[in-house]
Amino acid sequence: MYRPRSKTGDARLARPDAGLTLIELLVVLGILALLATVAAPQVLRYLGKARSETAKVQINALSSAIELYALDNGGYPALQTGLSALMQPPAGAARWQGPYLKKAEGLSDPWGRTYQYRVPGRSGPFEVFTLGRDNAPGGTGEDQDVSSN
């Protein structure tokens, strides 16, 4: 059966069974594996940094919500009530105008744990914080503590 040549004159491009050989595929897969081993640590580092940055943004949003709560109710949420006072009115909060957050998921840090709340804070009237990925005080990188103070 006659097959016309492509415009470039390469008969291989016009054949329907033209493709890559096994050797060519193995070379391409080897190159992709090499790129993945070089790029993967960089991607994971950026992912960890993104989680820490997300925690900072969420803590700022929680701090703003706590300030709004304090304006409406004349004080910060009690330690016993905690951050749940931003979503549901605590007992005795007659002037509660919430919810102060759009979604309850905003009370969880990027690692899936509830943000911790302390009143009074170490260097302010309150403190919202997370202990990072390792859930232990201190640390660096993704394990570092992120706090509103």
Q: Which region, left, alpha or beta, applies to residue 44 given φ > 0 means left and ψ of -120 to 50 means alpha?
A: alpha
Look at residue 16 in the predicted model and tell me its pLDDT.
Answer: 60
Write out pLDDT tens, residues 67-104.
Answer: 999 999 988 999 898 899 999 888 888 889 879 988 88
Could you give the count of Cα atoms lying within 13 Å of 139 in the half-sphere of its Cβ? 16
| Count of structural domains, the chain | 1
Domain containing 121 equals 19-147
13 located within any domain:
no
Asked whether 38 and 26 are in contact (CB, 8 A), the reply is no
Look at residue 36 in the predicted model and tell me its pLDDT.
Answer: 83
12 located within any domain:
no
Residue whose pair of structure tokens reads 């096994």 in the numeric block: 22
14 located within any domain:
no
pLDDT tens-digit profile, the chain (149 residues): 565 555 655 555 555 666 778 888 899 999 998 888 887 777 777 776 788 888 999 999 999 999 999 999 988 999 898 899 999 888 888 889 879 988 888 889 998 999 999 988 888 899 999 998 888 888 877 888 888 88
User: Which residues, 6+ apart, have CB-to-CB distance to 17 below 8 Å?
Assistant: none
Look at residue 58 in the predicted model and tell me its pLDDT.
Answer: 92
Residue whose pair of structure tokens reads 């993104």 in the numeric block: 50
Give the domain CATH number at 25: 3.30.700.10
Look at residue 59 in the predicted model and tell me its pLDDT.
Answer: 93
